[in-house]
Amino acid sequence: MLDYELVPGQRLVFVDLAKRLQVSRTPVNNALSILAQEGYLDFVPNQGYSVHKLSKKEAEELYQVREVLEVGFIGQAIRKMTDKKLQKVERCKLAYENLTSSRVTRKMFILDTDFHLAIMEMTGNDLLAQRYKDLCRKIFLRFRIEDLVMSRIEEIRREHDRLFEAICLKDVELAKARVREHHKNSRENLFPLIFPSK
C-alpha cells in the first residue's frame, strides 16, 4: 500500500497473497483481519477483503483530528524544543524541498508526514507521535494521487517554510495560525481531486 502496488478499492485474494509471499494462508488471513480492524481494508463476508477507499466524510474527520492535534500540541512542542529537535525538523523540511520529481509521488506524502511528525516529536510524547503518524497514513494510503498537481507541492514547501519560521521564533499563536492555514489549503486542493463533484 505504501508503494501503491495495492490501490484503494482493489480486491485482495488471500490465496494469491499467500503464494506471492510464500507463506500459508493462515498468517495472511490473520494479517488481513488485523489490517481490516485498523481501517486499512474492508471486509465483506463471502466476498473477502479490499483496500479501504476513503469517503469524503472520513477524510474530513481525519483532517479535523490531524489539525486539532497539531494546533493543540504546537505550544508544547515549542516549549520543549531543543536545538537537536529543531535540527531534525529542519532536516525533514529540507528532505521534502530537495525531492525532485516531475510528477507527484507517494514519497512526497511520506516526507510531508515526516516533517509534521518531527514537530509532534518535539513534545516528547511518543504515544502522541505514533498516533499522529498512524493518522497521516490513514489519509494518504487511501486515495489515488495521479491527478494532484506539482504547483501544490511548491505551495506546500512555502507553507512548511512559514511554519518552521514561526517555530524558530517561538511564536505559538503564529505557528497555530500557520498550521490552520496549511490544513485549510491542503483540504481545498486535495478534496476536489479526491472527491470530484458529479
Q: Is the pLDDT of residue 169 over 80?
A: yes
Span of 11-20, 67-76, 111-120 with lowest mean pLDDT:
11-20
Q: Assign 137 a pLDDT band (cuts: 50, 70, 90).
A: confident
- Cβ-count burial of 84 within 10 angstroms (0-12 exposed, 13-18 middle, 19+ buried)? exposed
Residues 22-62 pLDDT 10s: 998 888 889 888 988 888 888 888 888 888 888 889 889 99
State yes or no: pLDDT of 161 exceeds 90: yes
The confidence score (pLDDT) of residue 2 equals: 67
In tens, the pLDDT along 57-76 reads 988 999 999 999 999 999 99
Domains and CATH numbers, the chain: 11-51 (1.10.10.10), 56-194 (1.20.120.530)
CA dist 178 and 174 (Å) reads 6
Count of Cβ atoms closer than 10 Å to residue 22 Cβ: 6
Model confidence at 7, pLDDT cuts 50, 70, 90, reads confident
Residue partners of 151: CB distance under 8 A and separation at least 6: none
